[in-house]
A and B are shown apart, each in its own frame.
Chain A
């Protein structure tokens, strides 16, 4: 099966600019996650979708971050405006609805904010 696709792989922007990341999950996976992984820390959940509904966005900084999952498939994550502390790897993952289903991750986007 094709894996989780993410783009871009790398992005360098200046603070106060905006940026968008795209994710295409594994076909048939109902749940899609966006994680932020800052160097030296574990991945932190930003937002979780089940189909096209939001399940958990409690850790999403909603004043600058937004995400959508149109038609329950692809998803985009946007940051506007970016801050220096947003420099991180942004990981998209998907999973099926089985109880013991693992997460399948994309390669991630490494964002550097200067």
Chain B
């Protein structure tokens, strides 16, 4: 059974804090790594899709890095805001359109 682990499970930070999460996945048979943000009562929204070792992607205050050789990806949020409160999911791609999701990191940002 393929294991995709995310840490921490949950995180509570103050507005303005910077934070980061980890997604760990098998270092073999890598195809792609996806990050999604899932706000309560909304649909999961794609943040990044990364396919190359060393990839770094950025979207506003959120960025992600990828290390396929050691099997991890980091998601960074700079200067967290209350609207960043959500569950952040990573998904490991083992082949074309074959994704296995992690259990997510639940982020709460207090004003």
Contact = CB atoms under 8 A, between A and B. Distances in A.
Contact of A3 (B43, B51, B99): B43
Interface residues of A, number: 27
A3 B91 CA distance: 21
A35 B89 CA distance: 14
B89 A102 contact: no
Interface stretch (A13-21, A65-73, A79-87, A93-101): A93-101
B51 A99 contact: yes
A99 B15 CA distance: 36
Contacts of B44: 43, 91, 93, 103, 105
Given A99-B51, A100-B49, A43 B101 contact: yes
B103 A31 contact: no
A45 B99 contact: yes
A104 B46 contact: yes
A99 B103 contact: no
Interface in B18-73: 32, 34, 36, 41-46, 49, 51
5 contacts: A43-B89, A100-B49, A103-B44, A103-B99, A105-B36
Given A4-B43, A100-B49, A107-B43, A31 B97 contact: yes
Contacts of A31: 97
A10 to B, nearest CB: 11
B43 A106 contact: yes
Nearest to B50: A100
Given A42-B103, A100-B51, A95 B42 contact: no
Interface in B75-99: 89, 91, 96-99
B4 interface: yes
Given A41-B103, A42-B104, A103 B34 contact: yes
A48 B101 contact: no
